[in-house]
A and B are shown apart, each in its own frame.
Chain A
Amino acid sequence: AQTVTQSQPEMSVQEAETVTLSCTYDTSESDYYLFWYKQPPSRQMILVIRQEAYKQQNATENRFSVNFQKAAKSFSLKISDSQLGDAAMYFCAYRSPDMIIQGAQKLVFGQGTRLTINP
């Protein structure tokens, strides 16, 4: 079974600085999706960024970027120019590719990293 590990329960960063959240995963599959979700105090799950395993290029969304190392099974999230609104729990998640006959597979989540932004 696939597993996702986030080794940093808590991180903090000064406003406007850069922070990197770590994530590793275990799978025997060659094609899959990886995600970072943000959960602010409102508890809503918000997609931050998505990476398809077959793509070599690291995904980027504005101030958020990933470092995807497929061989190492590592998927870290870098937040540049941190803002107070970035304070949240961040979850790394893995998903198998869709299987048309059986329907899409579930997301497997890591335990999360609580990010604090210091003004």
Chain B
Amino acid sequence: DSGVTQTPKHLITATGQRVTLRCSPRSGDLSVYWYQQSLDQGLQFLIQYYNGEERAKGNILERFSAQQFPDLHSELNLSSLELGDSALYFCASSVNRHTANTGELFFGEGSRLTVL
């Protein structure tokens, strides 16, 4: 158990709809990252937050947005969904305020989104 919690684990929706994926980082971790993994592909970096502020952006579509809240949990919002958005969305966290940083990212189990 990495300590990173993602909900929901599975989500099926229709094209054009909007969904929100939620991530609770490991206790004390300040950074949250979102990655997208399409079928049999590598992980594509979407966006990173550090202590509530956006710090890095990858190839995130304009239809997607994210935020990190004061309690450090994060949400990824996906709107106007298309078939190609079907993927596994991972959240990861790092940079603990209480312990030495090992450089490692701790991954949640992912949210599998299916767009029909």
Contacts and interface: CB of A to CB of B under 8 A. Distances in A.
B58 A112 contact: no
Interface residues on B, range: 20 to 34
Contact of B45 (A37, A47, A103, A108): A108
Contacts of B107: 37, 44-45
B42 A95 contact: no
A103 B51 CA distance: 8
A33 B105 CA distance: 11
A43 B55 contact: no
A37 B6 CA distance: 19
Interface in A41-79: 42-45, 47, 50, 52
B31 A50 contact: no
A91 B30 contact: no
A35 B104 contact: yes
Contacts of A44: 107, 109-110
Contacts of A109: 42-43, 45
Most B-side CB within 10 Å, residue of A44, A102, A106, A111:
A106
B66 interface: no
Contacts of A35: 103-104
Given A43-B88, A44-B109, A111-B42, A106 B104 contact: no
B100 to A, nearest CB: 11
Interface of A: 33, 35, 37, 42-45, 47, 50, 52, 91, 95, 97-98, 102-112
20 contacts: A35-B103, A35-B104, A43-B109, A43-B112, A45-B92, A47-B104, A91-B43, A98-B103, A103-B31, A103-B48, A104-B50, A106-B45, A106-B58, A107-B33, A107-B43, A107-B92, A109-B43, A110-B42, A111-B41, A112-B41
Interface of B: 30-31, 33, 37, 41-43, 45, 48, 50-51, 53, 55-56, 58, 88, 90, 92, 94-95, 101-105, 107, 109-110, 112
Given A97-B103, A104-B101, 7 more contacts: A37-B107, A45-B107, A98-B95, A105-B56, A109-B43, A111-B41, A112-B42
